[in-house]
Structure 1
Amino acid sequence: MKSNSVKLLISCLAIMTSVFSYGQEFQGKAYYFSKTTMDMDNFGGRQLSDQQKKMFAERMKSMFEKTFILTFNKEESIYKEEEKLDAPSAGGRGGMRFGGMSMTGGDQYKNVKENKLLIEQEFFGKQFLVNDELKKLEWVMTAETKQIGKYMAMKATAIVELDNTDFLSARRRDRNNDNAKANDSTKINNSKNEVEIPKTQTVTAWYTPQIPINQGPGEYWGLPGLILEVSAGRTTILCSKIVLNPEEKNDIKRPSKGKKVTQKEYTQIVKDKMEEMINMRGRGRSGGGRRN
């Protein structure tokens, strides 16, 4: 077992040494497919019939199955949704709509040398530019490997914190186990169908030392190799194709549109709007039930 680990380490070092010979103009493109499964019991749950759940699930499938392109060099990357000629989904490009709320994710820029993160976000018709530092992930690397296409990939895991606007991670509240979950989740409404969001989530990533840059899809980065696959909660991101040093190189431009906010400020804006929508809905229900 120890001998195998030593051989693996030697192989990785040899691969990384050979790849580090890339010139200063090194650039690449990685194509990713992202998919998210939904727990229908958390959205409408018992109020929907099986047929309605099936129809809703199909709509959600088209909304959450996206293709992205990560253009990268040794220091920078830009992560964009691949443009398609299909009719736009509800909420617009890369967007989502829930109960009248809409949000659209735009280009995401990471600069590991400057520790810079820039994300264009549209929320309720307003354009924001999240301008912040890169969030460092405490990766735990393992000796486990697997083949992804023609690349040897290694496994790493990290525990990430979730905020209470991450509704894709919502789960139905278990009233029989409230004490056990009291410290590891956040309730997001007070209805009979109360759901909660875990405070933390385990992320599993597979990266390849054959492309020794610490970039990856979305907010994921910080490993000694390009991240090819990520599993986080109900979302999986898979790399389907890599093009190194393409003949036609693309400029990696920093996003610049929108009101500048930090990630914390943007999260608070979304949180406040969600609470406002929930309160309005609650007042509407209570008002509709009054009789003179």
Structure 2
Amino acid sequence: MTTITRIIILILMVIVSSVSAQDFQGIATYKTHRDFDIKMDSTKMNDAMQKQMMDMMKKQFQKTYILTFDKSASLYKQEAELDKPQVGGGIQMSFGNSGSDVFYKNIKDHNYVDHKETMGKKFLIKDTISPIEWKLESDTKHIGEYMCFKATYTKKVPKNNFNFNSNSNIDDDTEEEKELEMEERTVTAWYTPQIPVSNGPAKYQGLPGLILEIHDGKLTVICSKIVVNPEEKIKIEAPTKGKEVSQKEYDVIMDKKTKEMMERYAPRNGSKSGEVIQISIGG
């Protein structure tokens, strides 16, 4: 990072230091979008159906979230959505949560509580916040009225390839036990020291200012509105209802449930053409 950039950041941090000393709060609105690569069996689904499904999925991955925050904690919640849309042929599409999930994050105590309602059951995922090794870059840009600085970090993630091929055999033990192929991904964030909280949407945090934009693989999160010190005081409390599990325990449960669902809806020899197929991708 250049000397000039360092000086600018220091100046901004000095300017907002008086704000930092106050007991301030804020509400930030984020819009999310996710690109995707999906393989479909052209012998089982015509071009019109494929286009209809792709358009439906694009809309499903466009969501709005509200982050309410103060200096030490935050709540991140998706705005409620309408009922799940359906595509012809008995295919029901469901992606992510239904608006009932709440992600509480305490950056002071370095922990989080993730309330999720999955398959009719409520979970309270309690765990510690993993530190992110951000690299502060020299690039700057404005997002609305806020001067933002770029930061990046690299992580390893499994390759996700969704294959809608009805001829695939999910009961193949070799396929299930195959080791996940990993790839390296660079995450880019844009943060503003003008809002002096080390916080951001979802699990993103750890920068000297609120994160207003995230590019994480095919996921894009952009802040569209910010209200600082709203007239009505915000109450930020961790959710309390649900079965308490760690993140690792929840991931194991979800992996098991996903395999059970795939087996349940897997096409079988002699299956009826009108049989309902439900495709669910968490987000």
Fold-level similarity (TM above 0.5)? yes
Q: Does 1:229 align with 2:226?
A: no
Q: Which is richer in helix?
A: 1
Q: Does 1:80 align with 2:77?
A: yes
Deviations 1:27-71 (A, max 9, x none): 111110011122232x55664333222211222223221111111
| CA 127–162 in structure 1, closer or farther in 2 if over 3 Å, else same | farther
The AA in structure 2 aligned to 1:107 is V
Report the identity percentage. 39
Structure 1 residue 159 displacement after superposition: 2.3
Task: Give yes or no for contact 1:101–1:124 (8 Å, CA) kept in 2.
Answer: no
Q: Distance in 2 between matches of 1:287 and 1:89?
A: 28
The AA in structure 2 aligned to 1:253 is E
Look up the match of 2:132.
137
Task: Give yes or no for contact 1:76–1:109 (8 Å, CA) kept in 2.
Answer: yes
Q: Does 1:159 align with 2:154?
A: yes
Structure 1 residue 276 displacement after superposition: 2.1
Structure 1 residue 21 displacement after superposition: 0.9
What 5-or-longer segments of structure 1 have no aligned partner? 92-96, 164-168, 174-187
Q: How does 1:88-99 map to 2 (within 5 A)?
A: 88-89=83-84
CA RMSD of aligned residues (A): 3.2
Q: Distance in 2 between matches of 1:160 and 1:251?
A: 34
Look up the match of 1:17.
14
Q: Distance in 1 between matches of 2:243 and 2:124?
A: 5
Q: Distance in 1 between matches of 2:29 and 2:223?
A: 6
Q: Normalization by structure 2: what TM-score?
A: 0.79
Q: Normalization by structure 1: what TM-score?
A: 0.77
Q: Does 1:171 align with 2:161?
A: yes
Look up the match of 1:181.
none
What 5-or-longer segments of structure 2 have no aligned partner? 87-91, 164-172, 273-283
Look up the match of 1:112.
107
Look up the match of 2:57.
60
Structure 1 residue 275 displacement after superposition: 1.9
Look up the match of 2:251.
267
| CA 48–256 in structure 1, closer or farther in 2 if over 3 Å, else same | same
Look up the match of 2:145.
150
Moved more, 110-119 or 55-64: 55-64
Structure 1 residue 210 displacement after superposition: 1.6
Task: Give yes or no for contact 2:125–2:244 (8 Å, CA) kept in 1.
Answer: yes
